[in-house]
Amino acid sequence: MSGLVLRNAMPEDVSLVACFVRALADYEKLAHLAIGTDEQFAALLFGTPPRAHALIAEWDGAPIGFALWYFAVSTFAARTKLYVEDVFVTPEARNRGIGRAIFADLARRAIAAGSVSMEWSVLDWNAPSIAFYRSIGATPQEGWTTQRLTGAALEALAV
């Protein structure tokens, strides 16, 4: 694909990663939840040990997207799975195959790490993303819903 470069994020990309996260949150109508600071992203991606990984997508040298992922565990398979936390491509760069290239890159990373699968979540109203995921062969996990413990409930349970 002419013009596209996918590269690992570097420490100097922390502000860019944070900016893409905020853009994704805005697209998902969740901007009020995008509270991560540059310092927190630096610790997440480049701390000791790093807890997540990111790549930057560039088109002709200009940043146009990113992905952030981490490795989780599939206990039933006794192997890792690559969990894709976020993928975002700027609106003006969409429909060029960039999302497919990002997911293909992540699939190669999952296989290289010996992972059994790749997983991610999608908002149920996000029809364009769901259609894209179906086009690359992803299927919903029937019978499973994501559960989340956060805020006061998380703190209350921890007492």
Domain ranges within the chain, ordered by starting residue:
4-158
- For position 145, what pLDDT does the model report? 84
What's the chain's length in residues?
Answer: 159
40, two tokens: 């927190």
pLDDT in tens, the chain (159 residues): 569 999 999 999 999 999 999 999 999 999 999 999 999 999 999 999 999 999 999 999 999 999 999 999 999 999 999 999 999 999 999 999 999 999 999 999 999 999 999 999 999 999 999 999 999 999 999 998 888 898 899 999 999
By DSSP bridging, strand 79-89 and strand 117-119 are parallel
- For position 1, what pLDDT does the model report? 58
Q: Of 27, 70, 83, 133, which one is the catalytic site residue?
A: 133
Cβ contact 9:55 at 8 Å: yes
pTM for the whole thing? 0.94
Determine the straight-line distance between the first and last CA of the chain, rounded to whole angstroms. Answer: 53
- Please indicate whether residue 133 is annotated as part of the active site: yes
Is the domain spanning 4-158 CATH 3.40.630.30? The answer is yes
Cβ contact 23:80 at 8 Å: no
d(CA 96, CA 100): 9
Q: Degrees (nearest 5) of the Cα angle 31, 35, 38? A: 120
